[in-house]
Amino acid sequence: MIQQIKYQTFISQIPLILFGTILFLFPALWNGFPFIFTDTLSYITSGIELTAPFDRPIFYGLFIRTTSIINKIWGEVICQSVLLTVLLLRFANTLLPRLSNGYLYLWLLLVVLLTPAPWYTGQISPDIFTPILFLALIILALTYKESTISNGIFIGSFLCLSVCVHSSNLLIGAITAGSIIFWFIVKRSAWKLWKKFLIIVCVAFISGILFIISSNIWSNYGATLNPTGKVFILARILEDGPGLKYLRDICKEPELKTCASLPLLEKARKVEVDDPESKSPELRNLVASSFLWGGGLTASGGIFSVNREAGSIIKGAIKTYPSEQFGALIRNMGYQLKVFSVENQFNSTLKIEAMNQFFNTHYSDFYGDYLNSLQSLGKIGALTHLLNPIYFYVVIFSIISLLGSYFLFLQGFISPEKISLTLFSLCFFIGANALITGGLSGIFDRYQSRVIWLLPAVSILLLLGLLKRSKSVITEG
């Protein structure tokens, strides 16, 4: 009976799914071409060549290759919009099962207008799968008591795909899932019920891990999750300071190849010191960028040469300067939490000749659209510059309204347990995203803006629920 009701609900919401898909595609359609990022080239190439890049999983490339059946250049962003819309509606139906479709149309419209979500659904980048990861986890957590095999397969597929397409999602997902399990334990939920949640999450995450390791073995990197992950962590601690100080200590009598990059890193640090108040993401991460992309790795013999030394340097730096590195980790997390504007990731890529040549060769039918897109012409920044203050204040208002909604939803329309679990896990998820990206990678606007929109999305949904409840009370009165 429950399955029949869910099926009927899905059928009745097909127009909603189409509506949401078009809405989430609108910025990309307005641009005239899917949004691209400097990493886009690596992802598409991996799907074409069927070889994992040395610094990221192959599976988003495979996702692009598979969805190109729909449309060679638009397929992946269409599918991203569909997947996000389906999960958002599933989340809304779970949290507010009595909310009518009319309110859901309004909700989707407000999410698109007031949050940066559509900028990511329309981009050839796996960033949208990080919020998809959270939606899958919270839906599973809210429905674990009546979870069926089909529901487990459905949600588990989203979890596995999210873990496979982006390196950071495994750690972010593990922390978020751990917070949900902690909630169940504190609330003394029956083990025989929430063990379904644990089993589905473990199977999905372990499957993702095995897929990634298998793809790296296929690509001749060996049995590893990330062939060069240590190099990127090293870049982070060099930027933080302890890594650079430790490198100075051990390079007085150079024995490591990585020491060859030290003069370049010192020069980059001087630029940062001379402009300490800079808000430019490039200057905030100049040492790391100089090491990774500005000639540091080349001077040291290449990324795989440095990778062999990175582990010992990381351990030595943390052991020598533990308090400084821990302090840097917390500062990076705090800074990343505050940085969530939308702009820098949508700069024109026409200056990247390899990108131009690639699209001209592999997407010749769409090459004119690429050249004439608003992003390529450098016209996106003017709009995002206007929208960023709106996004910022919407997030602030959402935090306030979420606190208020919690106290208003005490009975009747929604279970206090559901909203409490949603807000608790959402806080951990957003914090985990800031910790993993800011602490292990770099402080960039897109890392937090890709997930921060979930706060307004939940807030608007609850406000619409309160509005419906108020109208019901007035009508009944």
Q: What is the residue-level pLDDT of the chain in tens, covering all 477 positions?
A: 444 445 556 677 899 999 999 999 999 999 999 999 989 999 999 999 999 998 899 999 999 999 999 988 999 999 999 999 999 999 999 998 888 899 999 999 999 999 999 999 999 999 999 999 999 999 999 987 776 788 889 999 999 999 999 989 999 999 999 999 999 999 888 887 788 899 999 999 999 999 999 999 999 999 999 999 999 999 999 999 999 999 999 997 667 899 999 999 999 999 888 776 655 665 678 899 999 988 999 999 999 999 999 999 999 999 999 999 999 999 999 999 998 888 778 889 999 899 999 999 999 999 999 999 999 999 998 899 999 999 999 999 999 888 876 666 544 556 678 888 999 999 999 999 999 999 988 888 889 999 999 999 999 999 898 887 766 655 555
List of E strands, 312-455: none
Asked whether residue 78 is domain-assigned, the answer is: yes
> How many C-alpha atoms does 255 have within 13 Å on its Cβ side?
6
Please name which of 119, 134, 229 lies closest in space to residue 433, comparing C-alpha atoms.
134
Residue 17 included in any domain: yes
Assess if residue 150 is contained within a domain: no
Residues 253 and 283 in one domain: yes
CB atoms within 10 A of CB 7: 10
Query: Both 330 and 353 in a single domain?
Result: no
201-240: b (≥16 Cβ within 10 Å) or e: beebbebbeebbeebbeebebeeeebbbbbbbbbbbbbbb
Q: Find the radius of gyration of the CA atoms of the chain.
A: 23
The pLDDT score that the predictor gives to residue 414 is 60
| Per-residue confidence (pLDDT) for residue 6, from 0 to 100 | 55
The count of residues in the chain is 477
Residue where a domain stops, chosen among 342, 360, 383: 342
Same domain, 330 and 358: no
Tell me if 464 sits within 8 A of 103, measured CB to CB. Answer: yes
What pLDDT shows up at residue 132?
Answer: 98
Report which DSSP code applies to 343: S
Residues 401 and 300 in one domain: no
What per-residue confidence (pLDDT) applies to 1? 43
Nearest to 240 by CA among 202, 287, 280, 303: 287
The pLDDT, as a whole number, for residue 25 is 97
Q: In the Cβ-directed half-sphere of 447, how many Cα atoms lie within 13 Å?
A: 28
Query: What's residue 359's pLDDT?
Result: 93
For position 2, what pLDDT does the model report? 45
Residues 392 and 291 in one domain: no
For the chain, what is the domain count? Answer: 2
Helix-then-strand count for the chain, H and E: 25, 0
146-151: long-range pairs with CB below 8 Å, 24+ = 146/2, 147/196, 147/197, 147/200, 148/3, 150/3
**Which residue range(s) make up the domain with 234?**
229-342
Closest to 443 in 3D by CA, of 331, 311, 342: 331
One domain, residues 46 and 121? yes
- φ, ψ of residue 463 in degrees (nearest 5): -65, -40
Q: Is residue 364 part of a domain?
A: yes
Asked if 431 and 333 count as a contact pair (C-beta separation under 8 A), the reply is yes
Query: Is the domain of 244 the same as that of 273?
Result: yes
For residues 35 and 70, state if they share a domain: yes
The answer to whether residue 198 sits within a structural domain is no
The answer to whether residue 201 is domain-embedded is no
Tell me whether residue 253 is in a domain: yes
Contact 27, 122 (CB under 8 A): yes
**Residues 463, 364: one domain?**
yes
Residues 292 and 404 in one domain: no
- Do both 368 and 260 map to the same domain? no
In a 13 Å sphere around the CA of 288, the CA atoms on its Cβ side amount to 24
Domain closes at, from 284, 310, 342 = 342
In a domain, 148, yes or no: no
188: left (phi over 0), alpha (psi -120 to 50) or beta: left
pTM confidence score: 0.93
pLDDT of residue 212: 96
Boundary (domain end) residue, out of 304, 320, 342: 342
Do residues 6 and 150 lie in contact, with contact meaning Cβ atoms separated by under 8 Å? no
Residues 333, 362: one domain? no
- The first and second tokens of residue 200, run together, are 């589905």
- In angstroms, rounded to a whole number, what is the distance separating the alpha carbons of residues 296 and 282? 16
Q: Are 454 and 186 in contact (CB under 8 A)?
A: no
Rounded Cα distance between 464 and 90, Å, is 16
Q: Which residue intervals of 219-302 are DSSP H helices?
A: 229-240, 242-250, 262-274, 281-284, 286-292, 296-299
